[in-house]
Amino acid sequence: MLDYDVEAARYDATRGGVPRARSAARAILALVPERARSLLDVGCGTGLVTERLIRPGLRVFGVDCSPAMAQMAAGRLGSGMILGNCHRLPFADDSLDAVTSVWLLHLLPDAPSVIAECARVLRPGGLFVTTVDKGAGHGTDSDVEELLAPYRKRKAYDAATRVLAVASEHGLRRVGEARFTGHGQGRSPAGTAGDVARGHYASALTLDERQTDALVARLSCLPDPEVPRADPVYRLLALRKEA
């Protein structure tokens, strides 16, 4: 997994910046009921998405375990930013109207424990909104994705089927979903080759050293190496906690 303390300074610029954040926030708020008065964004990173979840009458908090990420987010969220662990959220049982996690579960082998925590802090009737199937967001019609496909982990940590099964164990039921474009996230062959070589896909791909070298070489041979392919389309699930 990436060192997010190191990544913090460049994270927004390399992850689609404001256009991507705006797209994500708009889709999330379309799922969160107007009656919600409190929302926690788990794994909020720099807070670029989180600050766009603020609307009249809704108190928004963010939590992240990276000190550097949290420091950046505090500049956007003020006292609503909390340095904390997503496996032990610093909120009481049944205390929040909505909890969100964007591009988080796909990183975590122990994602079920995070889902359980999100369910714990939700009030009955509250809503958990999370991205799922992140790896599939880039589609299958890209030459870059075609080369990555054979190495993708068969059981993604954020697979929708897995998330729904775990959520059900904790009283969460699907009530809606949405999709949004990850602006600026289209992968170029050259950029992807560099990320593979640096191990940035460790949570998504199963590669030994030989396979890594071979994949980097094949990516480097693709045409238009600096040209990003189509932007991904991400999927959100909305899960309500039963009363």
Strand partners, 223: none
| Cβ-based neighbours of 127, under 8 Å, separated by 6 or more | 31, 32, 33, 36, 97, 98, 99, 175, 238, 239, 240, 241
Verdict on whether the full-model pTM lies above 0.75: yes
pLDDT tens digit at each of 243 positions of the chain: 668 777 767 777 767 789 999 999 999 999 999 999 999 999 999 999 999 999 999 999 999 999 999 999 999 999 999 999 999 999 999 999 999 999 999 999 999 999 999 999 999 999 999 999 998 898 778 999 999 999 988 788 999 999 999 999 999 999 999 999 999 889 999 999 999 999 988 888 999 999 999 999 999 999 999 999 999 999 999 999 998
Q: Quote the CA–CA distance of 8 and 92 in Å, as a whole number.
A: 29
